[in-house]
A and B are shown apart, each in its own frame.
Chain A
Amino acid sequence: MNITVVRSGGFAGIRRTWRVVVNDESSAAVDEWLHIVDACPWSDAVDLDGDGVPDRFVFVVTVEALPLESASTSQLHATLPESRVVGPWRQLIDRVQASDRADT
């Protein structure tokens, strides 16, 4: 399973990507990530784009190669403005960024 966070906009307008490849061999690791992924309201945030607030970020979150037994689809995708990055979205994005930073 891969989770990608693309952040665009912001004052700098610099596009940055964070990515984590979850080891599918480790069911503990997969479960931990799925716990957060499943908590995010994906259908509410498919195509939100920006919120019209100058210089705030826009996030695109993509989950690929989801374990099939856990979902009806193998891919999830959401676009959301920074003001909507709260709760589980916030947890997911923070965690992907932190894991990617730790890797490099």
Chain B
Amino acid sequence: MRCTIVPPYLLSRLARLDEAGLGGVAAAAHQTLMQTEPLRETRQAVAPRAAPPSTASPRPERTISDAGGREVLPGSVVRREGGPESGDAAVDEAYDGLGATHALFADAFERSSIDGRGLGLDATVHYGSRYDNAFWDGERMVFGDGDGEVFRRFTLSLSVIGHELSHGVTQYSSALEYQGQSGALNESVSDVFGALVEQHSRGQAASEASWLIGEELFTDMVEGAALRSMKAPGTAYNDDILGVDPQPAHMRDFVDTRDDNGGVHINSGIPNRAFFLVADALGGYAWQRAGRIWYDTITAGGLEPRATFVQFARATVEAARARFGATSAELDAVQRAWASVGVEL
């Protein structure tokens, strides 16, 4: 399931950084690399940096509950950490998806669970009847079974599980208000880390990934590949009943609407595409450089709750500069990406 080889470009890049005298940056990048799954086995061979105090819990602490088709939370506990498979697909998918999400944040960003302090990960499945949704209620992830006509059960998609838990990470790091542009950024951050959870779990490089969100959710009756495409927003589906994917990929197509908390799931297409462009330009595993910049951006403490796209873009530029340097390929990729989607820095 996991990647087992170190991408050669990263090793050579690290060597270049050392030659250029950017020892600190190289060490930080190296540290990031050491935290990722591929190098786990060789970790002992290199002197690791002392773990920050927040990384107390290397393992997730998962609890899955079953709402039994009612809209009442939390439901009854059906699987706890370390417990055997339940035999209920939704329960076991949620359990595994929480584990994969915890693994991305721990391995790539040295973050212990969603709050950085090892918070237990709670989820409820079988919420409601024919319930076409999944959401984060501030404390737990909640998954519906879908109506069976348009949507299948929401736990089928790892990018959805990663998306929901990432709302928790955002809540504990940069509480972007869930309305208008800051709401679309909140949504985009969840799509970004949801996609990265999936890529990290599958060992996929940026060029191998689908960059689709919710690829497994539509039934065969729907004309569509997924709910959203980060690579090509606006192309995920085109269906008689659902209509055409309304996401814009550029600021000139920004949608002004009162629906959906001011279009938070619509205009997220713009920052989603910016992230894809950074990851695509840099290549390799997206969580190691593009993901790191986005993670630094939301955890640096510089984002206002009502941040606009422009303010967020500037914060990613600062994060790229701080971690990778003023003349780095990373900084260049970030600046180009925002320009391509029409966000003026």
Contact = CB atoms under 8 A, between A and B. Distances in A.
Interface of A: 6, 8-16, 49-50, 52-58, 60, 79
Contacts of B246: 13, 15
Interface of B: 132-138, 151, 154, 160, 163-164, 167, 177-179, 186-187, 190, 214, 217, 227-228, 242-243, 246, 258-261, 264-266
Given A11-B160, A54-B178, 6 more contacts: A9-B261, A10-B132, A10-B133, A15-B246, A56-B133, A58-B259
A13 B227 contact: yes
A58 B261 contact: yes
A9 B258 contact: no
A53 B177 CA distance: 10
Contacts of A57: 133
Contacts of B242: 14, 16
User: Which residue among A6, A50, A60 has the maximum number of chain B CB atoms within 10 Å of its CB?
Assistant: A50
27 contacts: A8-B260, A9-B261, A10-B133, A10-B135, A11-B135, A12-B217, A12-B227, A12-B265, A13-B228, A14-B227, A14-B243, A15-B259, A15-B260, A16-B242, A49-B258, A49-B261, A50-B261, A52-B178, A52-B261, A53-B136, A54-B178, A54-B190, A55-B134, A55-B136, A55-B164, A56-B133, A57-B133
A54 B136 contact: yes
A12 B133 contact: yes
Contacts of B190: 54
B167 A54 contact: yes
Contacts of A13: 227-228, 246, 260, 264-266
Contacts of A14: 227, 242-243
Contacts of A50: 178-179, 260-261
Given A54-B178, A55-B134, A12 B214 contact: yes
A64 B36 CA distance: 58
Contact of B134 (A6, A11, A16, A53): A11
Contact of B177 (A10, A11, A52): A52
A9 B133 CA distance: 10
Contact of B167 (A8, A9, A55): A55
Contacts of B261: 9, 49-50, 52, 58
B137 A53 contact: yes
Nearest to B178: A52
A45 B123 CA distance: 30
B137 A9 contact: no
A67 to B, nearest CB: 29
A92 to B, nearest CB: 16
